[in-house]
C-alpha cells in the first residue's frame, strides 16, 4: 500500500515527484522519500512522517536539478515509519536507488544470504534486500533492465519495483508482479506511477502494465517486456478526468468534497447507460447468451464495497430472480466455494487494487466462473483480470473513507440488476421503466439531502464526547447501518456497531442502557409497510430501555416522530434506491464528528486507501 512515482524528462524532477506523491499519499502516509541522479551519483532524501515533512526538508535543502528520479510514500509493513526504513533504498555501493510497493515474502532468506556475503543493511525493510540484489545483478550485466530481469526471478510475494542507476542517467526501470504499475506518456518525458493520479496533471495518456512485466522509460521512449525479455505493447488509454478533480478545491477535506460530489458521481455512473425506459449496458464477452446461462451470482468485495454489494444482492435477486451471495473477498477463496461456468463472480472495488478482492477474482477465474468487475479506477488490476468491467464514474476518491464511491457502486449494481432482469424476462418493461425514472431523480434528491444537513452538524457537535454509537437497519437499510458504523469507527475512532433490526433481541439489545445513541435506518412506510412497522417496534424496544434514537426516515413518515429524539429526513424513492439517499446523512455525521474531535478525516490512523497486501 505504498505510492510509487518515477520520472524522466526536463520538467523539474523533484517537483514532478512531489506532485505525484501528494496525489498518492492516500495509499500510505507514514514516511516518504525521493531520489534523483546527480552526475555520477544518487542524491536522496527520505523522512519518517507525512509528505509535508519531506517537502519542508527539501525546501530547506533542495536536491540538485536532474532529469531522472523516483519517489515513494510508504505505509509501513516491515519496520517502523522511520527515516531509515523510508524508501528509496540503495544498492551497488550507493549507486543504485530502488523503491517498492508490496511485500517480498522471502526477504529474510535473501537478507541472510546477502549479509553472509558481506552486504551491510541500513534498514529493517524487506525492500532493501531487493535493492542489494539488483545492485549485484547490475554489476554482472551492466544494464539495469537486464539486471531487473535477473532479480525479479529471485523475489517471492508481490511487488512493484522502480529503480535507477547512476551509471545510466535518464533511465528508470520498473517491474510489476501482482501489484499495479502504470506508464504515463508525455512529449519528451515519461512517467511511472502506482496509479494514474501520480502523473495525470502532466499527461492523460496512460497504459497499465500486465502482470510480470518490466518497463524501461527514458525521456523519449517507454518499452515493455515480460520477465523473460519478450517485447510487449501495452494498451494505451486516456484518463477520463483531469487533475483538478483530485484537488481539494476550497473544501476543508477531501472527504467533505467527495461527499458533496455524490450527485455527480451518481449522474456520471448512469450517464449513457439509461435509455428512455431501460438500461443499455455493454459487458463485452459477458453477452446476453452468457448472462442468460448464469444460475448463481457471488459478489466479492471488502469494507464499504461489500456493504454496497449487500444492497446489490437484494436488488439483483429481487429483479432478476437469480440467487446472489455476498462474500467478503478475504473469506471467499479460503472456504473452497462451489464455482462453475454458470456462476458469475462480480467483484466490487473502488481502487481496483484491493489484494483480497483481486485474489478472489483470480480464484473464481481459475475455477471456471465468469467474472465481472465493478470498479472506479481505469486501468486498475482487478478490471484487467476480469472478463468484463462496468466502470463506476465517481471520479477520483482521495479520502481514505469511501463515500461517493459507495453511491456509484450501488448504482452500478442497480444498472446490472435491471440489465439482467431484462435479459431474463423477469420484469416487465413498465416495471423497469418505473425504476429507471426514479433513478434519474436520484442526483437531484441527493442535492436536496446535502442541502439540509444542519441537524446532522448540530448532532455531531453535541455528540463529540460520545464513546459508543449503534446503528440499526433492516432489508437494504441493514447494509446502510453497517456502512454508517464503519464510517464512524474509521474516522472518529468511536466504537460503533451496525445490526439488523431483527437481530436486536438475539443479543445486541443487552448493549442498550440509558443515553446510548442508536441511529435507525427506517424503511419507507409506503414501500415496505410491514418492515416499517417492525422497525418502529425495534425503536420502541430500545427507547423503553433509555436509548436516544436518531431516525433516518422518509419525508412524511410521521410514525417515527413520537419515538425518535431526532429525525433526519430523506426524499421519497423506491425501495432498492433508498440506500443511496439514506447513507448520506450517516457519512456526513461521521465526517462532522471526526472534525469536531479535531481528527484528520482524510488520513485516519493505521489505514491506507488502497489495501494492496493481504
Residues binding ligand F6R (CB under 6 A): 302-305, 349-351, 354, 357, 401-402, 486-487, 490, 611
Distance of alpha carbon 245 from alpha carbon 193, whole angstroms: 18
As measured in angstroms, the least distance from the Cβ of 116 to ligand F6R is 40
H helices of 452-528, in order, are 454-462, 477-492
Are 575 and 475 contacting, i.e. CB atoms less than 8 angstroms apart? yes
Residues 327, 335: Cα–Cα separation, whole Å: 10
Shorter beta-carbon distance to ligand F6R: residue 35 or 376 = 376
Cβ proximity to ligand F6R: between 189 and 397 the closer is 397
Closest alpha carbon to 215 in 132, 128, 144, 129: 144
Pairing of the two strands 517-521 and 468-473? parallel
How far apart, in whole angstroms, are the C-alpha atoms of residue 453 and residue 499? Answer: 24
Task: State the nearest-atom distance from the C-beta of 154 to ligand F6R, in Å.
Answer: 30
Residue 89 and residue 121 in contact, taking contact as beta carbons nearer than 8 Å? no
Cα–chain center distance at 216: 27
Cis peptide before 578, with omega less than 30 degrees from 0? no
Residue nearest to ligand F6R (CB): 303
Interhelix angle 578-596/429-451, rounded to 10 degrees, is 20
The answer to whether 609 is a known catalytic residue is: yes
Our CB check for ligand F6R shows the closer of 16 and 302 to be 302
Tell me the backbone φ, ψ of residue 260, rounded to 5 degrees: -70, -20
Number of H helices, E strands in the chain: 18, 25
Q: What separation, in Å, do the N-terminal and C-terminal C-alpha atoms of the chain show?
A: 10
DSSP assignment string, 59-86 = HHSPPPP-SEEEEEEE--SSS-S-TTTS
Which letter, b or e, does each residue of 206-223 get, where b requires 16 or more Cβ atoms within 10 Å of its Cβ? bbbbbbebbbbbbbeebe
Shortest Å distance, C-beta 583 to ligand F6R: 11
Q: Pairing relation of β-strands 222-226 and 213-217?
A: antiparallel
* 302 is an active site residue: no
CB of 496 to ligand F6R, least distance (A): 12
Q: How far is the CB of 121 from ligand F6R (least distance, A)?
A: 32
The kind and range of the H/E element at 165 are: strand 157-165
Q: What does the DSSP 8-state code read for residue 197?
A: G
Minimum separation from the CB atom of position 487 to ligand F6R (A): 6
Closer CB to ligand F6R, residue 214 or residue 305? Answer: 305
Coil vs helix vs strand at 191: strand
Q: Give me the least distance between CB of 59 and ligand F6R, in Å please.
A: 32
Q: Which three cell numbers stand for residue 159?
A: 511487488
Out of 2, 46, 201, 375, the active site residue is: 2
User: Which of 442, 426, 423 has its CA nearest to residue 283?
Assistant: 423
Task: For residue 118, count other CB atoms closer than 10 A to its CB.
Answer: 6
| Residue 419 Cβ vs ligand F6R, minimum distance, rounded to whole Å | 22
Residues acting as catalytic residues: 2, 609
Amino acid at each position: 500500500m505504498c505510492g510509487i512515482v518515477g520520472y524522466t524528462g526536463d520538467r523539474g524532477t523533484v517537483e514532478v515527484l512531489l506532485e505525484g506523491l501528494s496525489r498518492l499519499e492516500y495509499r500510505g502516509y507514514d514516511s516518504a522519500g525521493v531520489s534523483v541522479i546527480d552526475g555520477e551519483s544518487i542524491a536522496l532524501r527520505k523522512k519518517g512522517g507525512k509528505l509535508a515533512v519531506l517537502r519542508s526538508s527539501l525546501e530547506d535543502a533542495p536536491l540538485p536539478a536532474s532529469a531522472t528520479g523516483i519517489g515513494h510514500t510508504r505505509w509501513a509493513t516491515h519496520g517502523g515509519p522511520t527515516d531509515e526504513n523510508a524508501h528509496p533504498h540503495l544498492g551497488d555501493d550507493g549507486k543504485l536507488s530502488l523503491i517498492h510497493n508490496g511485500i517480498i515474502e522471502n526477504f529474510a532468506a535473501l537478507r541472510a544470504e546477502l549479509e553472509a556475503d558481506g552486504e551491510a543493511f541500513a534498514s529493517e525493510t524487506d525492500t532493501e534486500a531487493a535493492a542489494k540484489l539488483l545492485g549485484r545483478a547490475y554489476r554482472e550485466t551492466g544494464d539495469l533492465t537486464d539486471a531487473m530481469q535477473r532479480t525479479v526471478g529471485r523475489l517471492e510475494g508481490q511487488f512493484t519495483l522502480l529503480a535507477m542507476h547512476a551509471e545510466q542517467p535518464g533511465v528508470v526501470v520498473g517491474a510489476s508482479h501482482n501489484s499495479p504499475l502504470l506508464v504515463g506518456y508525455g512529449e519528451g518525458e515519461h512517467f511511472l506511477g502506482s496509479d494514474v493520479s501520480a502523473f495525470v496533471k502532466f499527461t492523460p495518456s496512460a497504459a497499465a502494465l500486465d502482470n510480470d512485466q518490466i518497463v524501461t522509460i527514458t525521456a523519449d521512449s517507454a518499452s515493455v517486456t515480460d520477465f523473460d525479455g519478450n517485447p510487449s505493447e501495452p494498451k494505451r488509454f486516456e484518463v477520463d478526468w483531469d487533475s483538478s478533480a483530485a484537488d481539494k478545491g476550497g473544501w476543508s477535506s477531501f472527504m467533505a468534497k467527495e461527499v458533496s460530489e455524490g450527485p455527480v458521481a451518481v449522474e456520471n455512473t448512469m450517464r449513457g447507460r439509461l435509455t428512455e425506459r431501460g438500461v443499455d449496458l455493454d459487458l463485452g464477452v459477458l453477452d446476453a447468451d452468457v448472462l442468460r446461462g448464469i444460475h448463481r451470482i457471488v459478489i466479492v468485495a471488502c469494507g464499504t464495497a461489500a456493504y454496497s454489494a449487500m444492497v446489490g444482492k437484494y436488488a439483483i435477486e429481487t429483479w432478476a430472480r437469480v440467487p446472489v451471495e455476498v462474500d467478503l473477498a478475504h473469506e471467499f477463496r479460503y472456504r473452497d466455494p462451489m464455482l462453475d461456468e454458470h456462476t458469475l463472480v462480480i467483484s466490487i472495488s473502488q481502487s481496483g487494487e484491493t489484494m483480497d478482492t483481486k485474489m478472489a477474482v483470480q480464484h473464481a477465474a481459475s475455477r471456471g466462473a465468469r467474472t465481472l468487475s465493478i470498479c472506479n479506477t481505469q486501468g486498475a488490476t482487478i478490471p484487467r483480470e476480469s472478463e468484463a468491467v462496468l466502470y463506476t464514474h465517481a471520479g477520483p476518491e482521495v479520502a481514505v473513507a469511501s463515500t461517493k464511491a459507495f453511491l456509484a457502486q450501488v448504482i452500478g449494481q442497480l444498472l446490472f440488476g435491471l440489465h439482467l432482469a431484462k435479459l431474463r424476462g423477469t420484469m416487465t418493461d413498465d416495471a423497469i421503466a418505473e425504476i429507471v425514472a426514479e433513478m434519474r431523480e436520484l442526483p437531484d434528491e441527493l442535492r436536496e439531502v446535502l442541502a439540509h444537513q444542519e441537524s446532522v452538524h448540530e448532532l455531531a457537535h453535541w455528540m463529540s464526547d460520545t464513546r459508543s454509537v449503534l446503528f440499526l437497519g433492516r432489508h437494504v437499510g441493514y447494509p446502510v447501518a453497517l456502512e454508517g458504523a464503519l464510517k464512524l469507527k474509521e474516522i472518529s475512532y468511536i466504537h460503533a456497531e451496525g445490526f439488523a433490526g431483527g437481530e436486536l433481541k438475539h443479543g445486541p439489545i443487552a448493549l442498550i442502557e440509558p443515553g446510548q445513541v442508536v441511529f435507525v435506518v427506517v424503511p419507507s412506510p409506503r414501500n415496505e409497510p410491514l418492515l416499517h412497522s417492525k422497525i418502529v417496534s425495534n425503536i420502541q424496544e430500545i427507547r423503553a430501555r433509555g436509548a436516544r434514537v436518531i431516525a433516518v426516515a422518509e419525508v412524511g413518515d410521521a410514525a417515527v416522530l413520537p419515538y425518535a429524539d431526532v429525525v433526519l429526513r430523506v426524499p421519497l424513492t423506491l425501495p432498492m434506491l433508498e440506500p443511496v439517499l439514506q447513507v448520506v446523512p450517516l457519512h456526513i455525521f461521521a465526517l462532522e464528528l471526526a472534525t469536531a474531535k479535531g481528527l484528520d478525516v482524510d488520513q485516519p490512523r493505521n489505514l491506507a486507501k488502497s489495501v494492496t497486501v493481504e
